[in-house]
Amino acid sequence: MSRILRPFGVFAPQGDVARFSVSGTSPAPFLRSGRQWSGSNLPHEPTRHVIPVRSKVSPLPYARVTRLKNREHFPVLVIGTGIAGLTTAFVLASAGVRVLLVTKAADPRDCNTFWAQGGIIYEGEGDSPDSLIADILRAGAGISNEEAVRFLASEGPRVVKELLLDEIDVPFSTTEEGELDLTQEGAHSLPRIIHAGDATGRAIEVSLLNRVKEEPNVTLATEVTAIDLLTTHHHPGDIQIRYRLANECVGAYILDNQTKEVYTIFADYTVLATGGIGQIYLHSTNTRHAIGDGIVMAHRAGARIMNAEYVQFHPTALADKKANHFLISEALRGEGARLRNQKGEYFMEKYAPELKDLAPRDVVARAIVEEMTTNKDEFVYLDLANFYNGHEPIADRFPNIRKACAEIGVDIERDPIPVVPAAHYFCGGVLVNTAGETTLSRLFSVGETSCSGLHGANRLASTSLLEGLTWGYYAAHSIREKLQSAAPVAEPGIRRALSSRPAGIGAVAPSTVATIPDWQPSGSANLEDPALILQDWTAIQNTMWNYVGIVRTYERLKRAAADMSQLGYRLEKFYHEASISKSIVELFHGQRMAAIVASAAIRNPTSRGAHFRKD
């Protein structure tokens, strides 16, 4: 069979398609007239195969949302516009729930989802949930949450079909026979991954975003940064509310990046979908916004953080500063590419005799580091040209990787690709169940911000998009059920005395939000000196890369924890003296995220998966 890549952004008419409700244990389909989409109303007119590298993202022609209204109350606040956040917002809005969807980026596509290359897990020939479960558990190095793994394996492919294929109609690549083209990636036992060329994330992100922006129940606000979560144990002026045993999240303080105004936004349910943490490292494949905002805010609010030591490094980022660590997808090794050092030696058989170049990412990343260290080289090579076993020409299968490599003078149809590892995915996060609920009432977390235990100590390739989609879908399902099953509201005096309504069910009482004050700035000095902020970020990123990177020791981790603690003390003072801005909030959150990872790593002496202790 040969493959044909359907052009991105060209959407077939949908006619009457199934949309899925979010009530009941197994959401039942209902019919609704679909919409016809064409290039004229896409966020960006796509060109076949040609997708810009990260440094050339052009803003979407979305009009910036008019200024938020202070103390506005929404049923749901979703923070983040990747696959997890968009899915949550779309499913809720489709069911008639009003959603405020916010992103600190100017372009809502500016997220890790958009740059995901390889694909999303679906169903392969002869595949089964048990087979996928076995692959995920093997990659997770023995500490995956088996309930979460079973949940993804059984529910994930169904959600892909219902939302991405039937409802959204994402333009995935197909064979000449019109069947979905299935590919295989590292540590998978068979081909089960569907893709859109080598820009799967873009196809999904644009398709979802188109539908979300047409939903009347979604208010999309760009260029606004979440500062802090509002909780009933910390923020109410009424001490009677703070006496309640259950701590509830009731919204967030949100900064307008342009005007510097801070809005008090209330929500019955808040969903964190802020993505990963890659930018706390010197080398990362993540977008510039991925610093762990949601995780830090949840930690500060009292939600439990889990598995923070497990930071996955992608083995193969393009080894050229001009390329901004462009990701070289694992799909290349899935279709035959092999790693070799600068001596010309193919080395993976030494480190993984059975899986070789298809070994899990942590194994491959450490093998590359070992080769670079032993040979005193700055990179290794990935040889696709001599081992490609795909069904179509390399230029058609990997057009964007080919383009990115060509910009630094590498022809992937002829030349080996210079690659190095880079921080790629955070396997830890805010602890959640299979509905995305956290340990803090009314707070949900989905996607890379969350930790369901699915990935254990190391993520299996192409599970991240499926996780974001599936958990976003079921978080919406859970929130809708909670909104519908609200207990009768007692009189304010009775509710205050008896706490008659169960925590986390229904709308937040007006008497509760009325006692929460607006943001009170602690400082007013204009201290946003770019040189100071750059130096602090340099310290964070170099410390994390050198001491809390791919290979760790107790002494390195101790130094990292001490350095981050000292920096945190200085930034705490700085934060309370300076007037608020996006740059200062991000620096504060970045330092806090680095401290969380370093602290978790030093507490865990056991090498497992992405956490490797050399000592």
**Distance, CA of 49 to CA of 171 (rounded, Å):** 13
**Distance, CA of 530 to CA of 235 (rounded, Å):** 32
Residue 361 is among the residues annotated as catalytic for this protein: yes
Contact 124, 192 (CB under 8 A): yes
CA angle 39, 44, 50 (to 5 degrees): 95
Integer CA distances (angstroms), 582 to 100, 103, 292, 461, in order: 20, 12, 14, 33
DSSP type of residue 322: G
Contact 317, 275 (CB under 8 A): no
Site of tokens 């299996």:
460
Contact 107, 59 (CB under 8 A): yes
Contact 249, 230 (CB under 8 A): yes
**Dihedral over Cα of 536, 537, 542, 543: its sign:** positive
Token pair of 325, please?
């660590």
Cα end-to-end distance, the chain, whole Å? 50
Strand partners, 525: 578
Q: β-pairing, 193-194 with 218-221? A: unpaired
Token pair of 124, please?
């392969």
> Length of the chain, please?
615
Of residues 333, 338, 340, 361, which has the active-site annotation?
Answer: 361
Integer CA distances (angstroms), 88 to 306, 399, 478, in order: 22, 31, 10
SS3 268: strand
Nearest to 320 by CA among 418, 224, 223: 418
Contact 212, 220 (CB under 8 A): yes
**Dihedral over Cα of 192, 193, 196, 198: its sign:** negative
Residues serving a catalytic function are 361
